[in-house]
Amino acid sequence: MQRLLWLLLIGLGLAVILLLASRDGDLIAGLARDDFGRLATQVAIGVFIGSAVFFMFRHRLSEALQAALFWVVLGLLLAVAYSFRGELRAIGDRVLAELVPGRPVQVGRAVEIARGRGGEFLVSTQINDARIGMVLDTGASSVVLTPEAAKAAGLPLEVLSYSATIETANGRARAAPVMLDRVAVGSIVERSVPALVAQPGQLRVSLLGMSFLNRLASWEVRNDHLLLRSR
């Protein structure tokens, strides 16, 4: 072990001498100064760790080989995971989209949302600066917000005029026309979207209606998934 440590120290000393003797633009063993320095450091760390493992398990060679193999395989797995981090992130997003109702996931140029357990499409939507859960309603001519959602989005409820009539599951109700600064579903962002705010007690959940859907290049339902595409 002492011999290995001396060899390690001598090697590091030679590497330092080469770095000090070289000028900024010089190559060392065909490598730039920074690359040579990083390589020398990595080799030194690797030799030190390897020596320590061998010293700890010198009387149990099979255990030492198993430990070395474990760390080599772990390092390879981490390298592969880092190399394919984009693909793994996309797979993780798809899995979460299936497990979390309404969570949008990017699939190519489309935003995809899985159908909820109740048969409807719950859509996690960003309205102005608020996260609002909505239900897709192609029968609604406009985006319709509950008073609670409108308040969360920063709309002034105290000055709204409920001058419009809407059809709800409980029959006709009054609603106030508003203009939403920003409506986003995943990567799709639409601005200045006309909407309505229902009177208190008239609507259980906000509706993602046609005043948003008509802004898109296309939308469709395919295999229990809603696909939205921006222009």
Amino acid symbol at 208: L
Predicted confidence at residue 114, as pLDDT, reads: 84
Q: Other CB atoms closer than 10 Å to residue 4's CB: what's the count? A: 15
Predicted confidence at residue 60, as pLDDT, reads: 64
From 138, 108, 142, 106, select the one nearest 121 (Cα to Cα): 138
Integer Cα distance of 222 and 231 in angstroms: 19
Q: Mind listing the domains of the chain with CATH numbers?
A: 2-83 (no CATH), 100-229 (2.40.70.10)
Give this prediction's pTM: 0.58
Predicted confidence at residue 150, as pLDDT, reads: 93
Predicted confidence at residue 19, as pLDDT, reads: 52
- Say which residue the tokens 């979207």 belong to: 193
Integer Cα distance of 43 and 47 in angstroms: 6
CA torsion, points 31, 36, 38, 44, in degrees to nearest 10? 130
Contact 162, 194 (CB under 8 A): no
Q: What are the residues whose beta carbons fall under 8 Å from the beta carbon of 141, sequence distance 6 or more?
A: 209, 210, 211
Alpha helices in the chain (DSSP H): 2-21, 33-56, 61-83, 85-99, 147-152, 210-213
pLDDT digit string (tens) for the chain, length 231 residues: 555 555 655 665 565 555 555 555 454 455 555 665 566 666 666 666 666 666 666 566 666 666 666 766 676 666 665 655 555 465 555 555 555 566 778 877 888 888 877 788 889 899 998 999 999 988 888 999 999 999 999 999 989 998 888 876 567 778 999 999 999 998 899 999 999 999 888 888 999 999 999 999 999 988 888 899 988
- Say which residue the tokens 């000028």 belong to: 23
